[in-house]
Amino acid sequence: MTWETTALVIAVTAPFVTAVLIFALGERRDAARSGVNLAGAALTVAAVVTAAGAAVAGAPDAYPTAGIALLDIGFGLRADLLGVLFAVIAGVLWLITTVYAIGYMSRASDRARFFGFFSVCVGSAIGIALSANLLTFFIFYETLTLATYPLVVHSGTPAALKGGRTYLTYALPAGGALAVGVVWLNLLTGPVEFAAGGSLDPALATTHPGSLVAIFALLMLGLGVKAALFPLHGWLPAAMVAPAPVSALLHAVAVVKAGVFGIARVVLEVYGPLGPELGVTQALAVVAGFTIIFGSVRALAQDDFKKRLAFSTVAQLSYITLGVALASPIAVAGGIAHLAHHAAMKITMFFTAGAVAEEVKAYRVSEFDGLGRRMPLTMAAFSLAAIGIVGVPPVAGFTSKWLLGIGSIDAGSGWVIAVLGISSVLNAAYFFPIIHRAWFRTPKPEWAHGPAAGRPEGDMRMIVPLVITAAIGLAMGVFAGMDLSPASWAQTIAGWEFPW
């Protein structure tokens, strides 16, 4: 086994091993657990980065791979460019979130269970990123579904259990649809490996067009739930009962992006040119476009801060889906770049929600008046992220939207420009009032003079991570032109994806 392959295997297994150790350590050994967790996360990041380095060096046809025999497809891992991009995002943000979560959960109960399942989720997300074929992808995808459940219901309140039920009601039938789709596709074509430019035999478009369309529909049904495509998005706002680190890493990054990442794999690396030929990607683009507008409008009406963020996520995820569906290298680059950009910005916002809720017990937007005085760093980071999502340069969101816009013209889908425009206005309409309230409204009397003298504005284990993620978001935008920035990485990937 080469060094790169070892790194690939470690990247996927380290979080699971971490989880087992956390469960084994039990509830009371907090220090040991935190140590194991941080060490596991750091090891994962190191492994992912190593694998990523190998992927960059080996592209497009010397990626590190590993696997064992299973069914006729095999359980296979591969570090390709698209995969390691997602894996790096998940790994790095996990490390940061762990620090945040140790602070956030310091007074909560059932910490072993929480951190254990959290690690399983991250491991599944990285597994999803590094899956070499559809079977392996599906295995990690469903593991993620299950491992998320205990986190959604973590508080154990009736509301949490209800949110958990809602989540499963969406996620499990979706898994069933995905399973049938995957089996059927494997039968039709033989083992479905992911390959840049699509792995399906082009002849199938003429011999089995009906089956291919039906399979695509089944796959999108399965992946669309996690990607929160309308009308499969309903679980995401309901899942906001989860603790903040869960909302931040899982419901802004790992889980939901597993869905869009899967869509990207299927559209780009399975169907490839067959997608536009069969007309299925066009349909997907329309659904994504509608979801963007729909999510943004719903976000406007939410007073609950986390719910507003959740609906914003619904809309933003569809940017990625839309970019992938547009069948233009530039749009695809925009979509994939947004995968990274949105991750950094939205995690910052959810970190904010958690920090604010813990520190000043504010949960609703209407309670945010003058919060900028009380928690200046936090709200500054939030404002930066919000501006980025709206698409104001130079923060990251601008770059991806820019690429999406150009890509849509390139793909001959001018209507997308209108969607992007309307959505940006709506984004501004639901985020700027928060910024306005935080900085320009009169604060509550006890907030007027900032944090108590000599005390920080909150638990620094929570503040520092959100400042870092905001900075990452900014950096991704400012340095978008540099070689290994997500934007240029995405463009490289998009280049490979379109040999046709």
What are the residues binding another protein (CB under 8 A)? 23, 26-27, 68-71, 75, 109-110, 112-113, 138-143, 145-146, 149-150, 153-154, 156-158, 160-161, 164-165, 168, 172-173, 175-176, 179-180, 183-184, 186-187
SS (H, E, C) 347-376: HHHHHHHHHHHHHHCCCEHHHCCCHHHHCH
| Closest approach of another protein to the CB of residue 161, in Å | 6
- Say which amino acid occupies 31: A
Dist CA 274 CA 498 (whole Å) = 12
| Closest approach of another protein to the CB of residue 156, in Å | 5
| Closest approach of another protein to the CB of residue 131, in Å | 12
Q: Distances from the Cα of 185 to the Cαs of 141, 155, 204, 211, 294, in angstroms?
A: 17, 40, 11, 9, 32
Indicate the residue among 46 and 161 with the shorter CB distance to another protein: 161
Cis peptide before 394 (omega within 30 of 0): yes
Indicate the residue among 66 and 85 with the shorter CB distance to another protein: 66
Helix axis angle, 255-264 relative to 329-360, nearest 10°?
Answer: 180
| Closest approach of another protein to the CB of residue 146, in Å | 6
Indicate the residue among 139 and 204 with the shorter CB distance to another protein: 139
Across the strands, what pairs with 304? 364
Distance of alpha carbon 355 from the chain centroid:
20
Query: Are residues 33 and 115 in contact, defined by beta-carbon separation less than 8 angstroms?
Result: yes
Dist CA 127 CA 132 (whole Å) = 10
| Closest approach of another protein to the CB of residue 230, in Å | 22
Indicate the residue among 154 and 298 with the shorter CB distance to another protein: 154
First to last CA, the chain: 34
Q: What is the 8-class DSSP label of residue 364? A: B
Indicate the residue among 23 and 479 with the shorter CB distance to another protein: 23
Q: What is the 8-class DSSP label of residue 190? A: S
Indicate the residue among 179 and 357 with the shorter CB distance to another protein: 179
Dist CA 347 CA 449 (whole Å) = 28
Query: Are residues 91 and 126 in contact, defined by beta-carbon separation less than 8 angstroms?
Result: yes
Indicate the residue among 165 and 461 with the shorter CB distance to another protein: 165
The C-alpha torsion from 109 through 115 and 121 to 123, rounded to 10°, is -170
| Closest approach of another protein to the CB of residue 426, in Å | 36
Indicate the residue among 175 and 295 with the shorter CB distance to another protein: 175
| Closest approach of another protein to the CB of residue 152, in Å | 9
Backbone Cα Rg of the chain: 21
| Closest approach of another protein to the CB of residue 1, in Å | 18
Across the strands, what pairs with 133? 193
